Structure 1
Amino acid sequence: MSAAHEPHAGAPAEGGARTDWMDALPQAVLLSEHGLVTRLNAAATRLWGVPQERAQGRPVLEVVRRHTLEALLERGGELELEVSGRTLRCTATHTGPNGALIVEDITDHRRREAELREATAVLSHEFRTPVAALRGVLEALEYDMPADLAQNFVRQGLQETERLARLVEDLAVGFRPTRARTLPLSEAFARAERLLRPELGARHTELTFGQDHLVRADPDKLLQVLLNLVENALKYGPAAQPVQVQTAARGTWVEVRVLDRGEPVADTESLFRAHTRGQHATGQGSGMGLYIVRSIVHGWGGQAWAEQQDGANAFCFTLPGVAGLG
């Protein structure tokens, strides 16, 4: 053998170098020529379950086993596929007889996008109540009224402004651990009734509350649960019919039930899923209310459910109790 044909000492073979960098890629890569596979990297071998030595020289369709991918490789372009619960982004290039197919698993990316949309929907829903309360306060302050009444409205406005500030903080730095404290249920009931007073008056509806109990919860989150459930009862129950909030001690837990006399709800479990509304729902709505209720209640270790009680719809939740009220 002449020196001109001897390999350079210490130089890696060209195929070996290509193998090294392609096998290091997290994406699956398939190379082809005239419709036949010339190369699979390690990720592609794992994805399609065909080793390089068996794939080489075989038609692309025999390896990828999907006409969609074969056609994509022939024309070039990009598409997404759902395969066995995974989302795959497939990109193909085609130059003359040569083609390259790159497949990337973007399942986690799509999951994070879904979580972000869900968090945005939850925050949007939670912003509605304090914004509506502030609007009511400002509208009331436009009119002349006694100083003590005006001061009461100002206090309400400041309280809701603080609540909005906490929501903004959550939006900026992510959801923080619960700010739980011990409080009587009557405190949350009074706050909810004050915020709902205009709607109660408009519907000529009376809101009644059960026995007081000491509980351990984040006051804002507890208020959010109560507002969601009572607002639903007002929305779907008949006007001028009372809405009852019942309470009972269940061992170390306190159970709260919100009852309405609306149309009986059949599939109650589905209502607690995100973006789901009841069959009798009218007007605009995100379908997030009961999903938020269950998420909050699960956050403090309780349960949330719905059932029929004495001809009424009962939407129920539990929260940690504190013995020795009074």
Structure 2
Amino acid sequence: MTGTDSGPAPGPGSAPAAPPSDRWMDALPQAVLLTRAGLVTRVNAAASRLWGVPQERAQGRPVLEVVRRHTLETLLERGGELELEVSGRTLRCQASRDGECGALIVEDVTDHRRREAELREATAVLSHEFRTPVAALRGVLEALEYDMPRDLSQNFVRQGLQETERLARLVEDLAVGFRPTRARTLPLTEAFARAERLLSAELGARRASLRFGQDFLVRADPDKLLQVLLNLIENALKYGPPGQPIEVLTFERGTWVEVSVLDRGEPILDAESLFGAHTRGPSATGQGSGMGLYIVRSIVHGWGGQAWAERRAEANAFCFTLPGVGGL
């Protein structure tokens, strides 16, 4: 077919060919299908790819032979809008009619729906995680309204400052989740020192200490690595017995480095389920979003690593891997 030839003349009962002026539709990312009297008159290039039918073969055929779904055929007859899940993709389908003529537009909105889901998860993290420190700060401020001995008021002030630090960390965590990855080479001790400094108040309250393993050079976004460490160490502090050291072990695994955070809490029967969104262990108390380990795995998968949990002797080990660049 040449640039001026619109194809063979339609036979009896077939739909007329689309004029050359309609070929701008091939530049559209949406799939477009036009009909007249129940027969396809035109499909653009995106529609041809979506349904696997060459444009010239689709022309003049009944709608069902092209789209192969009664749902879409009915949509074209009635007009309207719906969403379909097809082979793991989400398709938004819109149809309109004008007498005998109809138009079907299909748009792949999978990425848009994924971003909406991520936004809902972020909102869930905010609503749950911010609730506890905000309630604690309210309690501190209400207590400080009353006259009390200086040492007691100072104790309330310290509690308020700790909760303020926690709020600041939550804000930073939120920023990390949406910030583009900025990977660089760094020693693990750099991330360990930042985590220990930020957790100093919680370590003191639990009478716990941190023990770190061998140092390695790794390739990661320092902020995202810190977020993973904070989530895992905080879990160990929360669910391990008070006064016990938290061990952060490191191992070289070929071109990867494995980091394991150990606590001596009760054995976890179904550790894998804890990595799901909004999932908490049976011994969890108080308010929490159940998003900590889900966030950990999401970050680790982002740099190509793995995150898992296992029982090692008398301890629970929460582990992850990250790219290594040689031991120090």
| Partner in structure 2 of residue 22 of structure 1 | 25
State, as a whole percentage, how many aligned pairs show the same letter: 59
Q: Distance in 1 between matches of 2:27 and 2:163?
A: 59
Is 1:56 matched up with 2:59? yes
Structure with greater Cα Rg: 1
CA RMSD between the two structures: 4.8
Alignment-mate amino acid for residue 195 of structure 1 = E
Contact 1:233 1:243 in 2 (8 A): no
With the length of structure 2 as denominator, give the TM-score of the two structures: 0.67
Residue 314 (structure 1) aligned to one of 313, 317, 321: 317
Listed as ranges, the matches of 1:1-326 within 5 Å are 15-121=18-124, 144-146=149-151, 156=162, 159=165, 163=169, 166=172, 174-175=179-180, 177=182, 183=190, 185=192, 188-189=195-196, 191-192=198-199, 194-195=201-202, 200=206, 207-210=208-211, 224-225=227-228, 227-233=230-236, 243-248=244-249, 250=251, 255-266=259-270, 268-278=271-281, 285-295=288-298, 304-317=307-320
Deviation per CA, 1:24-45: give whole Å up to 9, x if none: 3222222222222222222222
Contact 1:122 1:288 in 2 (8 A): yes
| Partner in structure 2 of residue 203 of structure 1 | none
Bigger CA drift: 90-99 or 215-224? 215-224
Deviation per CA, 1:207-239: give whole Å up to 9, x if none: 3543687788988767654553355456656xx
Deviation per CA, 1:54-80: give whole Å up to 9, x if none: 223322111111000011011110011
* Aligned-residue offset at 1:158: 6.9
- SS of corresponding position for 2:150: coil
Q: Distance in 1 between matches of 2:290 and 2:142?
A: 29
* Aligned-residue offset at 1:288: 1.3
Q: Distance in 1 between matches of 2:74 and 2:193?
A: 66
Unaligned runs of 5+ in 1: 1-10, 201-205
Bigger CA drift: 29-38 or 257-266? 257-266
Deviation per CA, 1:68-109: give whole Å up to 9, x if none: 001101111001111122221111112332221111122232
Change in Cα spacing, 1:126 to 1:254, as seen in structure 2 (3 Å) is farther
